[in-house]
Structure 1
Amino acid sequence: MRFHVEARNITKRFGPTTALNNAGIEIAPGQTHALVGRNGAGKSTLVSILTGLQRPDEGEVLFAGEAAPGPADRDAWRRRVACVYQKSTIIPALTVAENLFLNRQGRYVKWRELRSKARDLLATYEVDVDAEALAGDLGVEQRQLVEIARALSFGATFIILDEPTARLDGPAIERLFTRMRALREQGVTMMYISHHLDEVYEICQSVTVFRDARHVMTRPVAELPHDELVSAMTGEATAVAHQTRRRAPGDLVVLEATGLSLRGRYEGVGLSVRAGEVVGLAGSASSGKIGLAETLAGLRKADSGRITVNGRRPKPGDVPAFLAAGLGFVPEDRHHEGFVPLLSVAENSTMPVMRRLGSFGLVSPGRRRTRAKQMIRELDIKTGGPDQPVAELSGGNAQKVVFARALVDDPTALVVMNPTAGVDVKSKQALLGAVEDAVERGAGAVLVSDELDDLRICDRVLVMFHGRIVKDVPRGWTDHELVAVMEGIEQ
């Protein structure tokens, strides 16, 4: 059988990290083929290789049996493959027609001809959008259809759809699937990437699973039970969460949200966290969990609803007000939100309490160093001393400084986002241990993570799906059980 697309024995390394290890995929002509796997499985790296943005260290890519073009021949790549990414590449200030033929108008633009060609292209793929409309005035669904039409206009008959339903509601998803079925009937081959396995069963004919940078299996969807697919993604389906030995949570609610909604991210969310309790937030990248966590920490302002911290109602979207109410937080991106690289360990770790380290608006360097040394000791930060710039630390130790800042004021409520991303095993243990220590002292914590192992310290895990909390999973879950809920198979 001749495949439309083949990636054979692909290995790709980034420094010491192996992103793909002898992995591959084979996609038949006219097929919608799913690629699934947990975060870090290698899906994004394969996309970059299939679109010519990265070259594999080993292996080869074939289109209809012919070797892929050279990396510099972008036009040849566009004639073979197109990718519609989760984040739109449409330019809002340009019209639909200008976006469709961007950089293809020639030296002198013939506007009437451009608009006519755009209308014909939109009609060919049944995209009901005005060619003269500003792209910025389009809805998410319309922009996505314009991107698909633009991708196919280069002549490619293979298209990659990367999390296409992440920002769509139910009716829009069904309309997208209708359009995908029509494209398939026209002979278009598609690779479909999604964290929502229910969509895989609805729209795809075959599925390939990656795990830990390797190809695990490829099967026809119709022959693959849901449990077997989840097991392939997670590895050991029977791995049970570790039981932590903390005292039972108290009755005091330290963090509470009621009726929180933020357009495009989450809707109608309510939760409460008690003193001595760790509550996990789990879900796919499009589930809304990060947006919710950022709202709970004061980084975002919800459209509706209220948040209570230790019985107080801090001003929505006002981080200092949340900190003053007794909340500490570890942001998702430590490099941009967690610390100031050129400032010292002492300066970064004591930011929330600077006013108490001196008088008359001046900070006592001695008191700051003393407090910083205490945090360095408690979190085992490997540093040359409190005056060392954070930029000189390893990733794990820099993350410990972010934790130090979150914990320096002994908060009674914590919001911790992806705390172990990009750190080594030993640092992971220390960071999660710091959360447990704070909770043992009586704090309540919300822990958001893409890593299932991080969530094992939680007393319960709230699973989000398409912006809503769909299940409260008590401690004792298996990987299989939790992932099935996260992917929308079981609720």
Structure 2
Amino acid sequence: MTAFLSLEGVGKHFGGVYALHAVNFEVRAGEVHALVGENGAGKSTLMKIIAGNHQPDAGRLRQNGEVVRFRSPREALGQGVALIHQETALVPDLTVAENVMLCQLPGLIRWAGMFERARGLIQSLGFEIDPTALVSSLSAAQRQVVEIAKALSLDVKLLVLDEPTASLAPSDAERLLGIVRALRERGVGIVYISHRLDEVFNIADRITVLKDGSVVDTVTPDAISMDGLIRLMVGRPLDALFPRRENVAIGPVVLDVEGLGRRGAVHGASLQVKAGEVVGLGGLIGSGRSELVRLIFGADRADTGKVRIDGKNVTPKNSGQAVRAGIGLVPEDRKGQGAVLSMSIRINSTMARLSDVSHWFGGLRLAHEKRTVADLMARLRIKARDMHADVSTLSGGNQQKVVLAKWFHAQGKVIILDEPTRGVDVGAKVEIYTLINDLAAQGMAVLVVSSDHNELIGLCDRILVMGSGHLRGELQGADFSEENIVSMSLGLGIGQAAPAHHAAANHPLPSTI
């Protein structure tokens, strides 16, 4: 069968750095071809060549057997090839219909016809979204649907999906996979890029593994195991994903939260975390997990309750007070809230404790600052040109390490990590898990929020579960499973949830890689 689009010996370099080496890759009509690999493996460069954002320095592209060259995304769209990024490229202040038809708006707009056309495209994907609603009012899942509808309005034949479910709740992610299946049935070719290997095994017809800019292998899901795929990607087995914490002494209670609440978001939550302990905070998306940790950190003001550190009431009214009390937060949105992307690694990694690198009269101790940042970069294995590189130039995993470096340097007593490995490849995940263990070994109290239940199971000593803004209860090691986390989040007893997932305790596959 002739591939709809094929790449033959494609190479690409940026300066002296080669991003792709002689890559052969093809996608057939009506096929989901997954593309996996660590951050920096070349996935982004490959998909941008397919979509016309980059032109190859070597090799060629063929479409239905004929040599083609896409000089721009517009040219690629004209040939039925569309790329949908993880962070959607919609105009938030325009309506759903305007965004769907954005690439083909006429000079004179027939509004009723445009709204009807957009509604029909969205309904064909199994969703009901008001075409007159502003995109700014939509959920992440709805925005993804609008992006796909926009591509379908252009009669797309090949769709490149970059981490389409990274920010979606499990239920929304499953609905999106349903859309992918439906598009495959229509004969649309799909390039599916994801760190979530369970999705890849669920949806892909073929899987191509990239490493260091080269194709390692192309396999079918039924011909390889999860462990085998991970070995192809990173050269390490699945059981090495969660480094063991050994001989860590659990000390006294450091973080003590009592009756903390905010109207409409969190209702009287109480919890404790001890020195040297890693405690998970699980539950379904929208259960109130992030809202609770924002209250603990003072990012939002609590209406009720107290936060104590080492028995002392420090209930913060703002984040500055929380930092001074010894509380650090690695937020879910590392790009928007965790780091200043336009500033250097040097500035980002010391900003939470400037007193350590400053003179008493306010000037910087430049030599000491340089040594401090160099030590942090070595300790956290931050890969960058040098400490003066802007954080925006780093991979997702290295950006997250810079945010962690800030709190390593702050030397607080409590660190809260909200979705610490979202969008991070398996190699960087292992390094981040190791750093979390290091923080616990130093005697810090660690609270980890994650929608990846297997991450909580593999990393934590205890798992607290939230649902509808309430802290529902606690799971100990013997009761760790995805079913029990979901069951408790829904307000049911342990073991009462519908068996939508395999029990992670018996089938410990990571849901994201």
Q: Identify the TM-score tier after normalising by the shorter chain.
A: 0.5 to 0.7
> Across the two proteins, how many residue pairs are aligned to each other?
446
| Contact kept in structure 2, 1:69 and 1:77, CA below 8 Å | no
1:428-485 deviation line (CA, Å, top 9, x unaligned): x9xx99995x877644567999xxxxx9xx9969999xx9999979xxxxxxx9x964
Following the alignment from structure 1 to structure 2, what is the Cα–Cα distance between the partners of residues 102 and 86?
A: 19
Give the AA of the match of 1:298. F
Deviation at 1:3?
Answer: 0.9
Q: 5 Å matches for 1:178-189?
A: 178-189=178-189
Following the alignment from structure 1 to structure 2, what is the Cα–Cα distance between the partners of residues 488 and 405?
A: 25
- Calculate percent identity across the aligned residue pairs: 30
* Most deviating of 224-233 and 291-300: 291-300
Q: Does 1:412 align with 2:413?
A: yes
In structure 2, do the counterparts of structure 1 residues 238 and 408 end up closer, same or farther at CA, with 3 Å as the change threshold?
A: closer
Deviation at 1:338?
Answer: 5.4
Following the alignment from structure 2 to structure 1, what is the Cα–Cα distance between the partners of residues 118 and 417?
A: 47
> Which of 333, 347, 364 is residue 361 of structure 2 equivalent to?
364
Following the alignment from structure 1 to structure 2, what is the Cα–Cα distance between the partners of residues 343 and 207?
A: 37
What does residue 298 of structure 1 align with?
297
Q: Which runs of 5+ in 1 are unaligned?
A: 383-390, 423-428, 450-454, 474-480
What does residue 128 of structure 1 align with?
128
Following the alignment from structure 2 to structure 1, what is the Cα–Cα distance between the partners of residues 404 and 46?
A: 34
Following the alignment from structure 2 to structure 1, what is the Cα–Cα distance between the partners of residues 123 and 459?
A: 54
Q: Does 1:164 align with 2:161?
A: no
Deviation at 1:152?
Answer: 1.7
1:6-39 deviation line (CA, Å, top 9, x unaligned): 1233333334543333334222221112222233
Q: Does 1:486 align with 2:510?
A: yes
Deviation at 1:153?
Answer: 1.7
Following the alignment from structure 2 to structure 1, what is the Cα–Cα distance between the partners of residues 286 and 11?
A: 31
1:134-163 deviation line (CA, Å, top 9, x unaligned): 334444433322221210221221112222
| Contact kept in structure 1, 2:100 and 2:150, CA below 8 Å | yes
Following the alignment from structure 1 to structure 2, what is the Cα–Cα distance between the partners of residues 15 and 280?
A: 43
Following the alignment from structure 1 to structure 2, what is the Cα–Cα distance between the partners of residues 344 and 202?
A: 38
Deviation at 1:410?
Answer: 4.6
What does residue 207 of structure 2 align with?
207
Q: 5 Å matches for 1:324-343?
A: 324-327=324-327
Q: 5 Å matches for 1:305-316?
A: 309-312=309-312, 314-315=314-315
* Most deviating of 114-123 and 336-345: 336-345
| Contact kept in structure 1, 2:345 and 2:389, CA below 8 Å | no
In structure 2, do the counterparts of structure 1 residues 240 and 65 end up closer, same or farther at CA, with 3 Å as the change threshold?
A: same
Deviation at 1:281?
Answer: 11
Give the AA of the match of 1:141. A
In structure 2, do the counterparts of structure 1 residues 470 and 140 end up closer, same or farther at CA, with 3 Å as the change threshold?
A: farther
| Contact kept in structure 2, 1:463 and 1:486, CA below 8 Å | no
1:52-110 deviation line (CA, Å, top 9, x unaligned): 11122323222222233341471443432112222233323322221121142233323
Following the alignment from structure 1 to structure 2, what is the Cα–Cα distance between the partners of residues 487 and 376?
A: 39
1:263-307 deviation line (CA, Å, top 9, x unaligned): xxx9xx99965435678999xxx999x969984983854999986
In structure 2, do the counterparts of structure 1 residues 486 and 318 end up closer, same or farther at CA, with 3 Å as the change threshold?
A: farther
In structure 2, do the counterparts of structure 1 residues 256 and 78 end up closer, same or farther at CA, with 3 Å as the change threshold?
A: farther
1:228-255 deviation line (CA, Å, top 9, x unaligned): 2232223132785898999632422334
Following the alignment from structure 2 to structure 1, what is the Cα–Cα distance between the partners of residues 461 and 192?
A: 28
Following the alignment from structure 1 to structure 2, what is the Cα–Cα distance between the partners of residues 254 and 194?
A: 38
**Helix, strand or coil at the partner of 1:486:** coil
In structure 2, do the counterparts of structure 1 residues 381 and 36 end up closer, same or farther at CA, with 3 Å as the change threshold?
A: closer
Following the alignment from structure 2 to structure 1, what is the Cα–Cα distance between the partners of residues 315 and 165?
A: 33
Deviation at 1:221?
Answer: 1.9
What does residue 68 of structure 2 align with?
68
**Helix, strand or coil at the partner of 2:236:** coil
Q: Does 1:34 align with 2:34?
A: yes
* Most deviating of 222-231 and 408-417: 408-417
What does residue 102 of structure 2 align with?
102
Following the alignment from structure 2 to structure 1, what is the Cα–Cα distance between the partners of residues 511 and 354?
A: 41
Following the alignment from structure 1 to structure 2, what is the Cα–Cα distance between the partners of residues 411 and 122?
A: 49
In structure 2, do the counterparts of structure 1 residues 23 and 365 end up closer, same or farther at CA, with 3 Å as the change threshold?
A: same
TM-score after normalising by structure 2 = 0.64
Following the alignment from structure 1 to structure 2, what is the Cα–Cα distance between the partners of residues 90 and 444?
A: 40
| Contact kept in structure 2, 1:310 and 1:326, CA below 8 Å | no
**Helix, strand or coil at the partner of 1:35:** strand
Q: 5 Å matches for 1:78-477?
A: 78-122=78-122, 127-237=127-237, 240=240, 248-255=248-255, 274-276=274-276, 295=294, 298=297, 300-301=299-300, 309-312=309-312, 314-315=314-315, 318-327=318-327, 349=350, 352=353, 363-365=360-362, 369=365, 393-395=387-389, 406=407, 410-414=411-415, 442-444=443-445
Following the alignment from structure 1 to structure 2, what is the Cα–Cα distance between the partners of residues 471 and 61?
A: 54
Deviation at 1:261?
Answer: 11
**Helix, strand or coil at the partner of 2:321:** helix
| Contact kept in structure 1, 2:415 and 2:447, CA below 8 Å | yes
In structure 2, do the counterparts of structure 1 residues 18 and 299 end up closer, same or farther at CA, with 3 Å as the change threshold?
A: farther
Following the alignment from structure 2 to structure 1, what is the Cα–Cα distance between the partners of residues 104 and 291?
A: 41
In structure 2, do the counterparts of structure 1 residues 189 and 446 end up closer, same or farther at CA, with 3 Å as the change threshold?
A: same
Following the alignment from structure 1 to structure 2, what is the Cα–Cα distance between the partners of residues 165 and 117?
A: 26
What does residue 499 of structure 2 align with?
none
TM-score after normalising by structure 1 = 0.67
In structure 2, do the counterparts of structure 1 residues 301 and 486 end up closer, same or farther at CA, with 3 Å as the change threshold?
A: farther
Following the alignment from structure 2 to structure 1, what is the Cα–Cα distance between the partners of residues 475 and 17?
A: 35
In structure 2, do the counterparts of structure 1 residues 300 and 21 end up closer, same or farther at CA, with 3 Å as the change threshold?
A: farther
In structure 2, do the counterparts of structure 1 residues 112 and 242 end up closer, same or farther at CA, with 3 Å as the change threshold?
A: closer
In structure 2, do the counterparts of structure 1 residues 407 and 3 end up closer, same or farther at CA, with 3 Å as the change threshold?
A: closer
**Helix, strand or coil at the partner of 1:93:** coil
In structure 2, do the counterparts of structure 1 residues 63 and 325 end up closer, same or farther at CA, with 3 Å as the change threshold?
A: same
RMSD over aligned CA atoms reads 5.8
Q: Which runs of 5+ in 2 are unaligned?
A: 377-384, 392-397, 425-430, 479-504
Following the alignment from structure 2 to structure 1, what is the Cα–Cα distance between the partners of residues 72 and 101?
A: 21
In structure 2, do the counterparts of structure 1 residues 226 and 396 end up closer, same or farther at CA, with 3 Å as the change threshold?
A: same
* Most deviating of 163-172 and 349-358: 349-358
Deviation at 1:126?
Answer: 5.5
1:342-376 deviation line (CA, Å, top 9, x unaligned): 99989995874659989xxxx5258x74xx76665
In structure 2, do the counterparts of structure 1 residues 319 and 149 end up closer, same or farther at CA, with 3 Å as the change threshold?
A: same
What does residue 381 of structure 2 align with?
none
